[in-house]
Each structure stands twice: as C-alpha cells, then as structure tokens.
Amino acid sequence: MLARLRHSVLIKVLGLLLLTVLLCIPLAQIEGLTRERGNSQREAAAELASTYTGAQTLVGPFVVQPYVERWMEPQRDAQGRIVGQEARSKEMTHLIFPDRLHLEGSLAPQERYRGIFRIPFYTLDAALEGGFVAFDAAALPHSEKESTIELKPPYVALHLSDLRGLDGSPALQLASETLRFQQRLPGVAEDAGLAGGIHAPLAGAALAAWQAGRPLPFHLKLGVVGQERLAVVPIAEETTAHLVSPWAHPSFGGRFLASERSVSAQGFDARWRVSSLVTTAREQVREGLRGGRDGRAPGAGAAMQSFDVSLAQPLNVYAMSTRAAKYGLLFIGLVLMAAFMFELFRRLPLHPVQYGLVGLSIAVFFLLLLALSEKVSFWLAYACAAGASVLLLAVYFSAVLRGWRRGLSFAAYVALLYGALYGLLASESNALLLGALLVFGMLAALMLATRKVDWYALSMGHAPVAGAQP
C-alpha cells in the first residue's frame, strides 16, 4: 500500500504543489529584500537632498512693488457721534509679472554617490529674457475710501525651491542697469510659502525707468544645481522655454507637457509654450507670498502649476528586480513541471529533495540578479545570473537524468524560460500580454503532450500509452 502511494502520480502532483507553495517563502524574502534595497536608495536620495540640494522649482523673475495705503477713520462716542479722526494704514504689495518670458537653457547631467547608490543630478545653465510692462501707480487698487498710496522701493524677486543649488550669483540686466541680488524677500512673512527667495532692489537707470512708467526689458543669467527634476512655473503672459541635454532618458511631467520634443541616444531637445489664460500660476504666487494663518503657509502645501523635466534613470534595477521576482512562482512552477514530465515519460524517478533543490536554485537566481544588478548594468547582471543558473541545472540534471543530452535539453528549456522572462521585463507595456501568452503556450504544450496518457495506468505503475512521449 505504501509503495503504491509512493509511486502514485496524484500523490506526486500534490507533493509538487506543496513544494511550490513552500518555495514562496524564499521568494517572498527575496522580494522583501528588493523593496528594502529600493527604500535604501530613496533614503540615499533624500539624504543627498538634505545635505546638498534637492529638486528645483523656479519661479520668476517678477517685480514686487510694496506700498502703504493710508486713510483717516472717524472715531465715535457711545451715542454714535463723530468725535475725531484716527490715522490708519496698512502695508500692501503689488506684483508685476512679465508680459513675456523665455528660458533658454541646457541641462548637464551628473551623478553623485551615497554608498553604492547613484543619484542623478544636473547643472542648469540658463538665460531668461523678457520684459515688464510700464508701471502706473495710479492703477494700484484702493481698499478704503479717500485713501492715499505711498510707494516703497520696488525690487525684482526670484524664487528657487532650494537656494543651496544656486551656482554663483545670478546676473540681472534690467533696462541696461546691472542689479545685484540679496537674501530673502523684504516684507514677506517668514511663514509664507515663497519666503525663501532672493531679491534685487531697483536702482539707477532701472529705477528711473520704473518711476517714469517705461517698459523694462530684462536679461538674467542663472546657474542652478538640482537633483533629478527641474520645474518652471509659467508666470508670464506668455512663457516659453527651450531646454537641451545629453541625457537620453527624460521624463516630462507637470501641468503642461512639452509642445515639441525630440529624444534620441544623443539626448533630448524640448520646447514649451504656456499662456497665462490656461494657468492659475499667478494666483498661486500671490497666495504663496502671503503669511499663513495658524502657522500654516498658504500655497506651500499644494504643488504649483508648472512644466518640468526629470532625468529618469533608464533602468531602475530595484523596480526591474521586483518585477522579475513577481514572476518567480510561475517560473518555478514551469521548471518543476518540466522536471515532472521527464520523470513521468522517461521513467526516471526523482526524489522530493531533488525537486526542492531545483526550486531553490531558481529562487537563488532572483537573489543573484539583485546582487549583481547593483554592481553592473541590468542586462549584464541578468545574463550572468541566468547563465550561472542554466549551467548549474545542466550539470545537475545530466547526472540526475543519467545522460548529458537529457541534461542539456532540460537546461535549454530553462534557458528559453529565462529569455522569455527577460522579454517580459524589457517590454513593460506588453508584459501582461506576453505573460498571458507564455502561460497559455506552456499549458497548451503540456495538454498536447499528455493528451493520450492513461493517468490511471501511470498511477498503478504501468507504462504510458504509446505516442504520448514528448
């Protein structure tokens, strides 16, 4: 009875199913390790952002015209009679945005290391050109009746999300006058969302032209270092930008995508064109310059509307390793199925320990892939890990199946599976289709190969029906 159960195909199949389930444990451990390494990479990027510089968002330039509104407010007694006048005032700011703004720049990629992790950075070399329309003090709004307006010194404001990324001092030419930038934005509360900017007070010919109500053309040279992403907030009546870079794997995002772009192995070339009619960026800037209530900074919590580009890594080894590990159970099942077919048709009994070793060798492939991909390119890591696994199985099954031809045929089957898995990983957009076709193909091959098998006869230890051998 025990011998019959030992040779029962049903018992063997149930045992293989149990073994497959048990092999989910090392697969889950490897997948968890992959996620942990991916989190470590993100922590390394966050650490570099805190100690060096982070992603950059550029707002400006724009002119801030501070002013004081003064008025007299009547004082009344308990009976409501006017008994005097009290002088009142409040400080206000008026923002003047460019009527046109063009950014011409190049992004030079660079990589910085934190341990074994490589984090992409860039250096932006940009020239911003545009102009401000003529300023008319009489157009400033009055919030009180019969109030007067007292102008304060105006300045040009520029906001960068991480000022540590400034590469040298920005050079601003405004109406043929060279202006120098200074720290912070005067009159802006520290809890305001855009408080951490820089400003250049209008002086000389620029101030004279401003006070005379003449338009002010400007030219700004700007160097910025940032981590991975650059975003530009379109605050002009018409904002245009042209960026080029030798980075061949850009990721375009933000509220507004590039109107024209070309990407090749030599890099990318992208252009943007955004009108003020399609964005609320100006209102967001005004809100971001106001101090927050209850310790909160309006405009700071929500992302500002922008167009941006990121230096995406061509292959995220941790994402690829995680995707590969998700196919681990299917992969192990297909390999064990092939080993079972050899046992079934060649009448070469395999011990459960041998099945377990084969399953573990496939699981170790995913661990080896993760470890190698941290040191070399992903395709080379995959080729080395797959080659080592195929060679190991070829040597092992040449002995187990009592013939090197059988061992090589089994290894060729496993190599085909590794090739199919790499195709799934390389074609992310078609991964589901290819995976479904792979499963269907393997199931169809199994059904066709065993369509004439007398399973009851096999369970009783008799030879299979002629013609059923693969």
Residues 136 and 12 reside in one and the same domain:
no
pLDDT for 460 equals 58
Cβ burial, residue 202 (10 Å; 0-12/13-18/19+): buried
Q: Which residues contact 453 (CB under 8 A, 6 or more apart)?
A: 344, 464, 465, 468
pLDDT at position 7 is 54
Pairing type for strands 177-179 and 229-232 reads unpaired
- Average pLDDT value for the chain: 80
Q: Which of 311, 328, 343 represents a domain boundary (last residue)?
A: 311
3-state secondary structure of 270: strand
Q: Please, which pLDDT band fits residue 103 given cuts at 50, 70 and 90?
A: very high
Residues 279 and 378 in one domain: no
Percentage of residues of the chain with pLDDT beyond 70: 86
Sorting pLDDT into bands at 50, 70 and 90, what band is 241?
very high
Question: Which two three-digit tokens encode residue 44?
Answer: 């390394």
Distances (CA, A) of 403 to 224, 253, 352, 355: 65, 57, 20, 18
Give the domain range for residue 280. Answer: 55-311
- pLDDT for 418 beyond 80: yes
Does 210 map to a domain? yes
When pLDDT is averaged across residues 304-309 and rounded to a whole number, the result is 90
Q: Is the pLDDT at 84 greater than 90, yes or no?
A: no
Statement to judge: residues 199 and 82 lie in one domain: yes
Least confident of 107-111, 112-116, 394-398, 458-462: 458-462
Instruction: Read off the pTM.
Output: 0.71
Which region among 218-227, 296-305, 337-346, 351-360 has the lowest average model confidence (pLDDT)?
296-305
Q: What is the mean pLDDT of residues 42-58?
A: 82
- Which of 258, 282, 311 lies at the terminal end of a domain, its last residue? 311
User: How does pLDDT run across 312-348, given as a tens digit for each residue?
Assistant: 876 677 777 777 777 777 778 788 877 877 777 666 7
Give the chain's domain count: 2
Whether 13 and 137 map to the same domain: the answer is no
pLDDT given at position 302: 52
